[in-house]
Structure formats: C-alpha cells, structure tokens
Homo-oligomer: A and B are copies of this chain.
C-alpha cells in the first residue's frame, strides 16, 4: 500500500454566499474531489467579520481566525482562498501575507486584480506561488482557463463580453416590461442585485475590472484598468431600447478589448449588437464572453455570472488545478514579461446609432444629413417616426465612422436649428 496523498488544505477568508458555497462543495463532494485530483481537499480554517452570524453550513470542524492575515499565514494552510472583496485593506494585505508565507492564492476579487494584478503577480511568481482568479470574471464560466490555456495557440484579436449580470438584467427588464431605467434600477436594488455602491454595477466599473483582466491575458500586457473607457447604462432610455429593437439591435453594456495598430483599446460601454447574435439573444442576468482568435475564429462562452453555486464552482476549479499540480504564471506568461500597454487614443471605427428629436419643418432632414456629412459621417439607414407633437423622433444608423467624427457631428447638430434636445449616440459593435 502506498501512503495516502497529502491533503490540500484551504484557509477561507470571507463567508458570504461564495465562501459558504465553497465550503458546501468541499463537504458534499469530498470523495469525488479526491478521485479527480488524487488527494483530499480539506478546509483548515475560516475567517469572517461576524462569527455569530447564522450560516448555511457546518463550520464547527474548522479553526476560526478573526484576522484574515493570521489565517493566510497559518502553517496548516496551503491555499489562501480570498473571498472578502475590496481592492485595498484586508483583502490586499492578507493576499500579500499569504504569498510571502509561501501559500498559493485563489480569489474571486476582480477589483484587487484590476488594481494590483501586476504587483501581486510579480510577488507570487518571485515566490514560486500561483494566484488563481477564475471566479473574478464571469462567475462560473471557465473563461480565464479557456483564454490562458485552451486558446493559447491563438493571437487574440478581440475579447468581448456582457459581464455584469445586473446591468443586463436591468436592460432586459426595461425592454420586456416597458419600464423606465429609474424604476427598474429601484427594483434591482430591492431584489438585492446591486452592489452597496450601485455605480460599481451600473457605472460599468465592476465589468471594467473584469475586462482589464481579460485584456492582460489576451494581449500579454500589464493589467491597466485605468485605461478602460467606462460608460454606464444610466443614459439608456426605454426609447432607445425600443428604437434599437426596431432596427434589429439590442442594447448591452458590452466590454470590448482589442489590440489595434493604434494601441490597446479597452471599452466598457453601452453598445448596440445585432438582435440575432448570441450577445443580442442574451437575456437577464446571464453572462457571455466572446473570444476571437486568429486560428479558432469566434468562441462564445455563456453561463451564470454570479451566485453561490457558479462562483464557488469557479473557485473550486482553481483549487483543484492547484491540487493537481497545474501551475501557471498569473496572466499566462511571466509577469515580468508583460508589456506596458499603449492605450489606443481613438477607438476602432464602427457604425453608430443616432437618435434625435427633429423639429418638423421643411428641409429639416436635409439639414441633419448635411451636418453629418460635414463631419464626415455618412448615413446607412434613416427612419423618421410619426408624431403628435411638433417634433419627430429620427433614427440614424451610420456607416463605419469614428467616435471623434460622431462627436463633431453631435456638436454641430444644435446649430442646424432643427434638433430639439441632446441627440443620443451609441456605438454598434460588429459581433
């Protein structure tokens, strides 16, 4: 008989839904996990703010640490599982302490990676440790693994994604229920779908964190969240959702990262996508990531982006890789070899959707067309709607143009004297 394999011992900091989800998997599937990795996966110690809180799992067999740093550095912990969140303070301190103490780290903390990914990766790799973070991006979808490993033979052309379920829920619900943004936002708040700071969701920050992590892997550059162009969904009206649908599009908070001749482009902005595309068909809180490689073409990954089970599944995928001895640099290649990204000053050309309120008088449409033409924007499709008022909604889909040209055109429109209020301009992403 051979000696039993050494167990892999976890220390889990943070016992919210995800932490408890991880505990449940370890408890429920002990035998299966051992069969798959060749060694038992156990929990040594846990930590959370409030020990007395009633939690949906039996934690009595685990040591309790009040201080996550103490947890992270325990001699009987092999892997520090960081599920506290927040990109400064304890989460960061405990992660650094764990790496310095020779522990591997598994985290669901997108903000931590987006803000300190390079520093942490260098620290980990210098110490011969790994940081794994599948749960930080798109919940249960194995997108980090697919991009870093499965598609590693590809020069990545573009990574896109709907990666904030709350925003997609809000936009979908506005459309299906015909409700304005503010009402649905309030619904989402009451359903507990929003972060304590809702701007993390609806401002695109949370999804922007995720995009910056994917971009680093895809393009071999240092994570640069500061260079993500962020626009939230607060500007999206039910009118735009309906008009876009009329033209065959859906509006999504879409992340796009691509390396262009002008540099690295990272955008997390509301975009129109074709209604019949996989991204256009995505309803509710589900996430989707689209990866385009020079050999593989387009790969689409779809699944739950949040929640106890899906996020814990991703955490466990990382834990099991460590148990099996599968070890890679944080972003797929050594952190010291990652390039400083040169942010693209302008985004790649695209068609745009324009909505404006036309003052209905003779020659008005011609004035619009002329103002757009002067800005170098040419019209692909235009639609004027019937109206009861003195103004009429007009929709325009342009040919491919630049954001700059669109901004020039929008700035010129008030001068025509035939546009009421501020026009709306949204990029149409070709997917």
Contacts and interface: CB of A to CB of B under 8 A. Distances in A.
B153 A297 contact: no
A1 to B, nearest CB: 15
A411 interface: no
Contacts of A19: none
A33 B314 CA distance: 26
Given A146-B146, A297-B140, A155 B32 contact: yes
B299 A302 contact: yes
Contact of A304 (B36, B296, B321): B296
Contact of A313 (B25, B154, B334): B154
Interface size bracket, A side: 35 or more
A338 to B, nearest CB: 10
A295 B313 contact: yes
A43 to B, nearest CB: 14
A294 interface: yes
Interface stretch (A168-176, A233-241, A262-270, A324-332): A324-332
A142 B218 CA distance: 16
B302 A302 contact: yes
A299 B32 contact: no
A142 B134 contact: no
A145 interface: yes
A371 interface: no
A interface secondary structure, majority: mixed
Interface string A274-302: 00101001000000000001111111111
A303 interface: yes
Nearest to A277: B281
Given A145-B149, A155-B32, A333-B36, A297 B321 contact: no
Contact of A334 (B38, B154, B298, B321): B38
A307 B220 CA distance: 27
A409 interface: no
Contacts of A301: 299-302
A144 to B, nearest CB: 8
A36 B150 contact: no
Nearest to A32: B155
A295 B316 contact: yes
Contacts of A328: 324, 326
A302 B279 CA distance: 12
A220 B310 contact: no
Nearest to A291: B303
A153 B302 contact: no
Given A140-B295, A297-B140, A326-B326, A153 B303 contact: no
Nearest to A334: B38
A296 B278 contact: no
A45 interface: no
A320 interface: yes
B151 A295 contact: no
B333 A309 contact: no
A140 B316 contact: no
A317 B29 contact: no
Contacts of A152: 33, 36-37, 316-317, 320
Nearest to A298: B303
Contacts of A298: 303-304
Contacts of A297: 140, 303-304, 307, 309-310
A388 interface: no
Contact of A281 (B35, B281, B314, B327): B281
Contact of A153 (B151, B299, B319): B319
A84 interface: no
5 contacts: A35-B337, A140-B296, A296-B304, A299-B302, A300-B302
Given A153-B315, A299-B303, A301-B301, 19 more contacts: A25-B295, A36-B152, A36-B332, A140-B297, A145-B149, A145-B150, A146-B150, A149-B317, A152-B320, A153-B319, A153-B320, A281-B281, A294-B309, A296-B303, A296-B309, A297-B309, A300-B302, A300-B303, A326-B328
